[in-house]
């Protein structure tokens, strides 16, 4: 009889707790490891496993089996064994030389005469240090930059930011998802709402949930299937604002919920029109507003969110956005575009659906009680109209009484887990960019590179090119400053290599270093001068928080391939060679974690008390966290009565704890503003910093264009770096998909499975460094007139999937697919309020190229719609 | 079933990737994983002309308690038999966490699902591949044989959730 199931671990197999490497939900996992040579009776207490949950790995050079399963002992996140298709295949991400994970980087590689050749770590560090010393001496710290993930574990992000902000002191730093070191959903922040304040129990306990710009079924899967479908209120009503009716939306609709098929970027009007209905009818939660909404003097006296000369101070104190209840009420009621008919025309959402949404969210019941409504936003919201969408969503939630109590919360659903502890230094004040007037604006690293200002760049774990807007233009700039330069490395001798790179830099070029776990096309396969191999999940001990601030230890259980090292180790080696060894003197991963703790204080991921407790107990921070298993502890970590306590929900006045250190972290019991009250923000649709760009970015009917938005799909996490190498997902082919409304497709002669090309012949890219005196100087029309907007071209290819759940006029591609960078048709002109891109506002004409191989391939990927129910 | 071998070869790849190679190369492994096709005793399901387009015929196989559905889809399907190559049968146990797909046949869409537990859907024209959702294995497909005008189940391709070596 054929054996189809993987082997079972023997009794006594090694066990490790960890959490998933992928999405923000951060499910709890347990690893069983046993030598291939081991015998013994199978342990019948281990849950059943399928082949995707098994692998063979190397541990200390010996072949071992591993099973990676949802932790049967978990009490949090995913108790009961639930998992997504990402976590369900964690075992198969482990390095195994007999499958495509053999492509893992195992040694530093130097590009010599165009080819990547192995070099030692010592040689790699020597070249980097020589070039860096030259750049810092002759071009200054602004010319030395880092582009890094913000999520891949506290140890690494702390080391990387310590290098950038403290040791080098450069403002040229941008996280993986942004062109500048900004905050994501700035409207939430300005309202005083921490984006990850809610707990998963809150998402489960609400009676109505408004999901804006996301279907958590796709890539926050277990949050959806465990907490939203179930939780304390499985009968909850779901409202989705998104142009694509994916499975979660379809399920929600079937259960009496609503799909609001909003046109990209217009969510602000949708929120304000719903708010207008609520205010007109007196459905707002007046008691909450009276207690928790900052009055005018509280906003003014506190200078909005703080007294410093910051972007948020500027936004929250200068009239256009700042408000109090009376002013907000007048704003919502007074503007024509908030009236149902106008809002319906502009947003594409039928008036009766907006009316129904307002009823569900706020209409008091016969007994006078209010529905418990919660508000979740994600990238469809804030990466389309960054400030106005997030600010208007926060305001809508607040007037419905959400923000600080069980089942009534406002927050992000999340993308990645929360893995950033930023080192101090804050060289943002060195940024040459300013908002109009004199307020510092974070440096736009893409523009800095395109303009030729960057001479040395170290990239950590991001595709950079495909992840950023106007990807093709960014790629052309990277090529121009690296491989297209005359000066190239001719041999592996570190002194000679460094000399060649310095000569290139003096000719206006750039040295590009990329740390990653795989070859990443085209960033390190085609352009990087030096490629450094990183150790990843399961190969070194790491820590981070998930989307409810749950801190866990992600334990090592396998050998890293070759000489791959955790990124903090590479940073330390480089810093030592630069002469900064005393500041990078860690002897273990836990030492990094422990040092970083003091810089987490006061924030949402504050674990200082955990490290203090470890010291009291004479153990390490990692060791104490390991004892907490896959349940971990929710930050901020507090200590009272000699015990550690987690914090399930932020901003909650009922979080009272006899806690001597409560003063240190205001977030725990109050909103994150000077007054501790939330700020209602106005979001005028005709604010020219938005409206001028929106008019320019819209699809052009004369060119037969559609909105080309993008979003995550379950089977392709990020750039597919693992999925394209895991047997089940890889065998399906996983092409870049373009979901199209059947009528839009028919009008272009496109059938399901056709290969298509999406072309935007007018992709706007911000160049130069616009200086603003008047606030309008940094709005689109003035930038265009002043020559700061370059017109470029972008395109990508995809396989069309006809989906009646795709609203007409909008097509959606997968996010950051390596075979078809959908960001190529998006404009790289940041929101002038926040310096964030508006990635979801691509446009283009869709051209049929022919029938793809997937039509006839009955063993390949499914071409069916996502929301068939 | 003339083209079945090629289909099965790809099917095995779908289900196992490089694992067969890997396990063959590791000394000391007690039982190598073999092909994903398991043969069981033939079980008569239906006469060809008794099948109604789009109407599922539910049956247990290879043992009582393991439910499957036989359906004539009306469009050609991977592994499909009959004159139109559109008759297929699949396990009705979700490969994600074992949910019962018994009430979720969308024959007009050639879909089984969404699973009532976590909403995974499977494409019946493409060997039960996941359309969207959380399963990490395709839906096990029942190997069918047409003997004259009689349809028989003769084996399973793929692993039924929770089943061991003998589907016991």
> Is A365 within a domain?
yes
* pLDDT tens, residue by residue, A136-152: 999 999 999 999 999 99
pLDDT tier for residue A373 given thresholds of 50, 70 and 90 = very high
What pLDDT score does B32 carry? Answer: 28
pLDDT of the residue at A435: 83
**What is the number of helices (H) and of strands (E) in chain A?**
26, 27
- Nearest CB partner across the interface for A862, out of B23, B76, B131: B131
Report the distance separating Cα A404 and Cα A388, nearest Å. 22
Give per-residue pLDDT as tens, A429-481.
899 988 877 678 899 999 999 999 999 999 999 999 999 999 999 999 999 99
| Closest by CA position to B37, among listed B153, B121, B162 | B153
Is residue A307 very low, low, confident or very high in pLDDT (cuts 50, 70, 90)? Answer: very low
Domain at A757, CATH number: 2.40.40.20
| pLDDT reading at A3 higher than 50 | no
Distances (CA, A) of A464 to A165, A173, A682, A718: 20, 12, 34, 12
Mutation to test the A interface, candidates B99, B105, B136, B163, most A Cβ within 10 Å: B136
Q: Does A110 share its domain with A256? A: no
Q: Please give the pLDDT value at position B3.
A: 31
In whole angstroms, what is the distance from residue A130 CA to residue A133 CA? Answer: 5
Q: How confident is the model at residue A2 (pLDDT cuts 50, 70, 90)?
A: very low
Which pLDDT does position B135 carry in this prediction? 96
**Chain B interface disruption, residue of A724, A864, A867, most B CBs within 10 A:** A864
pLDDT exceeds 50 at position A851? yes
Residues of A in contact with B126 (CB under 8 A): 858-862
B26–A contact, CB cutoff 8 A: yes
User: What integer pLDDT is reported at residue A5 of this predicted model?
Assistant: 77
Asked if the C-beta of B119 comes within 8 angstroms of chain A's C-beta atoms, the answer is yes
Query: Among candidates A511, A649, A525, which has minimal Cα distance to A202?
Result: A649
Place A318 in a pLDDT band, splitting at 50, 70 and 90: low
Contact A853, A235 (CB under 8 A): no
When pLDDT is cut at 50, 70 and 90, the band that residue A659 belongs to is low
The model's pLDDT over A539-571, given as tens digits with 9 standing for 90+, comes to 999 999 999 999 999 999 999 999 999 999 999
- Give alpha helix (H) positions in A337-437: 340-347, 351-362, 379-382, 386-399
- What percentage of chain A's residues is helix, strand, coil (to nearest 5)? 35, 20, 45
Average pLDDT of the residues in A225-237: 98
Q: pLDDT by residue (tens digit) across A245-269? A: 999 999 999 999 999 999 999 999 9
* Residue contact B136–A728, C-beta within 8 A: yes
The CA-atom distances, in angstroms, between A821 and each of A51, A567, A617, A758 are: 32, 26, 50, 10
Domain annotation covers residue A657? no
- Residue in A4, A217, A727 closest to B17 by CB: A727
pLDDT the model gives residue A312 = 63
Residues A421 and A396 in one domain: no
Residue A257 forms part of a structural domain? yes
Chain B interface test: which of A1, A4, A38 (most B C-beta within 10 Å): A4
- Which residues in chain B have Cβ-Cβ distances shorter than 8 Å to A82? 97, 118
Which pLDDT value is given to residue A316? 63
Mean pLDDT of A806-815: 97
Q: What is the pLDDT of residues A152-193, one digit of tens each?
A: 999 999 999 999 999 999 999 999 999 999 999 999 999 999
Contact B137 A229 (CB under 8 A): no
Q: Give residue A223's pLDDT band: very low, low, confident or very high (50, 70, 90).
A: very high
Residue A376 reports pLDDT greater than 90: yes
pLDDT digits (tens, 9 = 90+) for A491-535: 999 999 999 999 999 999 999 999 999 999 999 999 999 999 999
Are A331 and A276 contacting, i.e. CB atoms less than 8 angstroms apart? no
* Rounded distance between C-alpha atoms, residue A726 and residue A707, angstroms: 32
Q: Cβ contacts of residue A444 below 8 Å, gap of 6+?
A: A174, A179, A180, A433, A766, A830, A835
Asked if residue A296 has pLDDT above 90, the reply is: no
Quick check: A58 pLDDT over 70?
Answer: yes
Q: Is A46 part of a structural domain of the chain?
A: yes
Please indicate, yes or no, if residue A858 is contained in any of the structural domains.
no
B46 Cβ contact partners less than 8 Å away, ≥ 6 residues apart: B57, B70, B150, B151
Please state, in angstroms and rounded to a whole number, the distance separating the CA atoms of residues A83 and A27. Answer: 7
pLDDT in tens, A82-125: 999 999 999 999 999 988 999 999 999 999 999 999 999 999 99
Q: Is residue A863 part of a domain?
A: no
Decide which of A34, A62, A94 is a domain's last residue.
Answer: A94
pLDDT for residue A47 is more than 70:
yes
Residue A548 neighbours by CB under 8 Å, 6+ apart = A77, A196, A198, A199, A200, A634, A648
> Residue A305: which CATH number?
3.40.228.10
Domain CATH number, residue A128: 3.40.50.740
Same domain, residue pair A81 and A112 = no
Domains of chain B, CATH where assigned: 37-157 (2.102.10.10)
Instruction: Judge: A713–B164 Cβ closer than 8 Å, yes or no.
Output: no
Tell whether A140 and A58 lie within a shared domain.
Answer: no
- Does residue A340 share a domain with residue A221? yes
Q: Are residues A523 and A421 in the same domain?
A: yes
**Contact of B100 with B68, CB cutoff 8 Å:** no
Per-residue pLDDT, averaged over A683-698, amounts to: 97
pTM: predicted TM-score of the whole model, two decimal places: 0.95
| Section A602-619 average pLDDT | 97
State the Cα–Cα distance between residues A432 and A413, nearest whole angstrom.
Answer: 33
Rounded to the nearest angstrom, the minimum Cα separation between B13 and chain A is 7
Query: Could you confirm whether B134 is annotated as catalytic?
Result: no
pLDDT digits (tens, 9 = 90+) for A786-796: 999 999 999 99
Domain that holds residue A427: 104-179+417-600+605-649
Which of A53, A56, A730 is closest, CB to CB, to B26? A56
H helical segments located in A646-753: 688-697, 727-731, 742-747
Structurally, chain A folds into a number of domains equal to 4
Give me the pLDDT at residue A458, please.
98
Do A709 and A630 lie in a common domain?
no
Q: What is the pLDDT of residue B22?
A: 30
Cα A337 from Cα A473, distance rounded (Å): 36
Element (H, E) at B9: helix B4-16
Nearest to A155 by CA among A636, A524, A537, A561: A537
- A451 and A569 belong to one structural domain: yes
Would you call B96 a catalytic residue per the annotation?
Answer: yes
d(CA B113, CA A689): 46
Sheet of A54-59: strand order equals A14-19, A28-35, A62-70, A54-59
What pLDDT, on a 0 to 100 scale, did the predictor assign at position B21? 28
* Residue A78 domain-assigned (yes or no): yes
pLDDT of residue A816: 93
Query: For residue A133, what are the contacts with CB-CB under 8 A and spacing of at least 6?
Result: A578
Q: Say yes or no: A316 and A424 in one domain.
A: no
DSSP assignment letter at A166: I
Q: pLDDT tier at A337 (50, 70, 90 boundaries)?
A: very high
Q: Is the pLDDT of residue B150 over 70?
A: yes
**Residue contact B15–A2, C-beta within 8 A:** no
E-strand ranges in A722-841 read 737-740, 754-766, 789-802, 810-814
Residue of B nearest to A5 (CA): B164
Q: Give the burial string for B142-156 (b: 16+ CB within 10 Å, else e).
A: bbbeeeeeebbbbbb
Return the residue of B nearest to A53 by Cα: B136
* pLDDT score at A452: 96
Confidence of residue A62 (pLDDT cuts 50, 70, 90): very high
Query: Regarding predicted confidence, which is higher, A827 or A642?
Result: A827
For the stretch B5-60, pLDDT in tens is 333 333 333 333 323 323 333 333 322 233 467 788 999 999 999 999 999 999 99
Q: Predicted confidence band at A658 (pLDDT cuts at 50, 70, 90)?
A: low
A552 found inside a domain = yes
Q: What is the mean pLDDT of chain A?
A: 94
Whole-Å CA distances, A856 to A144, A183, A230, A339: 50, 46, 39, 50
- Element (DSSP H or E) covering residue B153: strand B150-157
Q: What pLDDT score was predicted for residue A313?
A: 63
Q: Which residues pair with A331 in a beta bridge?
A: none
pLDDT score, position A297: 83
**Nearest chain B residue (CA) to A47:** B162
Shared domain for A167 and A249, answered yes or no, is no
Do A825 and A780 share a structural domain? yes
| Residue A168 · residue A159 · CB < 8 Å | no
Instruction: Kindly state whether residues A522 and A614 are assigned to the same domain.
Output: yes
Q: What is the pLDDT of residue A771?
A: 81
Catalytic residue among B118, B119, B131, B134: B118
Task: For chain A, give the percent of residues with pLDDT over 70.
Answer: 97
Write down the pLDDT at residue A470. 96
pLDDT reported for residue A655:
87
């Amino acid at each position: 009889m054929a054996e189809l199931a993987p082997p079972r671990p023997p009794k006594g197999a090694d066990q490790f707790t960890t959490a998933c490497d992928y999405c923000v939900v951060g499910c709890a996992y347990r690893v069983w490891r046993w030598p291939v040579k081991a015998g013994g009776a199978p342990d019948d207490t281990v849950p059943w496993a399928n082949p995707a949950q098994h692998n063979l790995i190397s541990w200390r050079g010996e072949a071992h089996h591993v099973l990676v399963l949802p932790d049967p002992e978990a009490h949090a996140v995913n108790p009961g064994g639930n998992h997504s298709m990402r976590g369900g295949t964690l075992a198969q991400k482990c390095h195994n030389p007999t499958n495509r994970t053999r492509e893992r980087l195992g040694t530093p590689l130097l590009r010599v005469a165009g080819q990547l050749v192995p070099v030692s770590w010592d040689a790699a560090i020597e070249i980097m240090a020589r070039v860096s010393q030259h750049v810092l001496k002759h071009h200054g710290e602004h010319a030395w930059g880092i582009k890094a993930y913000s999520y891949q574990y506290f140890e690494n992000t702390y080391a990387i930011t310590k290098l950038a902000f403290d040791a080098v002191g450069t403002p040229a730093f941008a996280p993986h998802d942004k062109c500048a070191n900004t905050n994501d959903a700035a409207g939430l922040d300005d309202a005083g709402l921490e984006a990850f304040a809610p707990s998963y129990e809150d998402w489960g306990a609400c009676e109505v949930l408004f999901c804006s710009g996301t279907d958590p079924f796709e890539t926050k899967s277990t949050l959806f299937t465990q907490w939203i479908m179930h939780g304390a209120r499985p009968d909850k009503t779901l409202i989705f604002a998104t142009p694509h009716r994916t499975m979660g939306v379809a399920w929600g609709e079937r259960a009496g919920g609503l799909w609001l098929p909003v046109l990209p970027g217009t969510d602000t009007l949708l929120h304000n029109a719903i708010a207008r209905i609520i205010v007109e009818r007196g459905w707002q939660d007046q008691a909450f507003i009276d207690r928790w909404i900052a009055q005018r003097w509280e906003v003014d006296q506190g200078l909005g969110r703080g007294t410093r000369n910051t972007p948020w101070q500027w936004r929250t104190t200068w009239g256009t956005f700042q408000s109090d209840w009376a002013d907000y009420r007048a704003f919502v009621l007074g503007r024509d575009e908030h009236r149902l008919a106008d809002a319906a025309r502009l947003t594409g959402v039928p008036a009766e659906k907006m009316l129904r949404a307002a009823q569900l969210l706020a209409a008091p019941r016969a007994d006078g009680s209010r529905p418990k409504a919660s508000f979740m936003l994600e990238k469809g919201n804030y990466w389309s109209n960054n400030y106005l969408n997030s600010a208007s969503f926060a305001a809508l939630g607040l007037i419905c009484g959400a923000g600080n109590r069980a089942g009534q919360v406002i927050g992000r659903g999340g993308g990645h887990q929360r893995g950033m502890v930023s080192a101090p230094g804050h060289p943002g004040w060195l940024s040459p960019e300013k908002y109009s007037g004199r307020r510092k604006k974070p440096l736009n690293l893409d523009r800095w590179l395109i303009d030729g200002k960057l001479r040395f760049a170290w990239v950590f774990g991001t595709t950079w090119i495909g992840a950023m807007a106007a990807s093709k233009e960014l790629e052309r700039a990277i090529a121009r400053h690296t491989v297209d330069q005359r000066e190239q490395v001719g041999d592996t001798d570190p002194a000679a290599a460094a000399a060649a790179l310095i000569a290139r830099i003096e000719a206006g070029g750039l040295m590009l270093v990329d740390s990653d776990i795989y070859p990443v096309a085209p960033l390190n396969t085609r352009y990087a001068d030096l490629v450094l191999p990183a150790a990843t999940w399961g190969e070194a001990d790491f820590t981070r928080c998930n989307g409810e601030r749950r801190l866990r230890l992600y334990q090592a259980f396998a050998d890293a391939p070759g000489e791959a090292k955790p990124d903090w180790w590479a940073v330390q080696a480089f810093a030592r060679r630069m002469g900064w060894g005393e500041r990078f003197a860690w002897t273990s991963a836990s030492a990094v974690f422990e040092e970083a703790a003091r810089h987490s204080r006061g924030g949402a991921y504050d674990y200082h008390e955990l490290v203090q407790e470890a010291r009291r107990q004479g153990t390490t921070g990692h060791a104490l966290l390991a004892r907490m298993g896959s349940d971990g502890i929710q930050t901020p970590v507090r200590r009272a009565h000699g015990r550690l306590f987690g914090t399930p929900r932020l901003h909650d006045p009922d979080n009272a704890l006899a806690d001597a250190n409560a003063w240190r972290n205001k977030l725990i019991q109050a909103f994150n503003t000077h007054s501790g009250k939330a700020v209602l923000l106005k979001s005028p649709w005709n604010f020219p910093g938005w409206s001028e760009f929106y008019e320019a970015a819209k699809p052009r009917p004369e060119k037969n264009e559609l909105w080309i938005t993008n979003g995550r799909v379950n089977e392709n996490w990020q750039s597919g770096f693992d999925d394209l190498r895991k047997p089940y997902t890889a065998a399906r082919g996983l092409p870049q998909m373009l979901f199209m409304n059947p009528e839009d497709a028919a009008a272009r002669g496109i059938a399901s499975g056709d290969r298509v090309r999406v072309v935007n012949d007018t992709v706007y890219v911000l160049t130069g460094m616009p200086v603003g005196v008047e606030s309008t100087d940094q709005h689109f029309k003035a930038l265009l007139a002043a020559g700061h907007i370059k017109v470029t071209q972008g395109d990508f290819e995809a396989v069309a999937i006809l989906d009646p759940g795709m609203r007409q006029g909008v097509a959606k591609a997968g996010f950051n697919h390596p075979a078809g960078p959908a960001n190529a048709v998006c404009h790289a002109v940041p929101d002038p309020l926040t310096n964030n891109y508006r990635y979801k506002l691509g446009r283009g004409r869709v051209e049929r190229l022919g029938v793809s191989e997937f039509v006839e391939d009955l063993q390949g990927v499914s071409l069916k719609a996502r929301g068939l129910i | 079933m003339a083209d079945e071998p090629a289909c099965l070869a790809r099917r095995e790849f779908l289900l196992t990737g490089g694992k067969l190679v890997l396990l063959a190369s590791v000394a000391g492994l007690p039982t190598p994983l073999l092909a994903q096709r398991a043969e069981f005793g033939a079980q008569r399901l239906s006469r060809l002309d008794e099948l109604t387009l789009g109407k599922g015929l539910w049956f247990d196989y290879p043992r009582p308690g393991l439910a499957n559905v036989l359906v004539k889809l009306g469009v050609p399907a991977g592994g499909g038999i009959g004159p139109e190559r559109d008759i297929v049968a699949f396990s009705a146990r979700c490969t994600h966490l074992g949910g019962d797909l018994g009430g979720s046949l969308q024959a007009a869409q050639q879909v089984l699902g969404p699973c009532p537990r976590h909403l995974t859907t499977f494409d019946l024209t493409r060997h039960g591949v996941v359309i969207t959702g959380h399963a990490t294995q395709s839906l096990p497909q029942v190997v069918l044989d047409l003997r004259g005008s009689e349809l028989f189940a003769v084996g399973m391709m793929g692993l039924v959730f929770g089943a061991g070596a003998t589907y016991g």
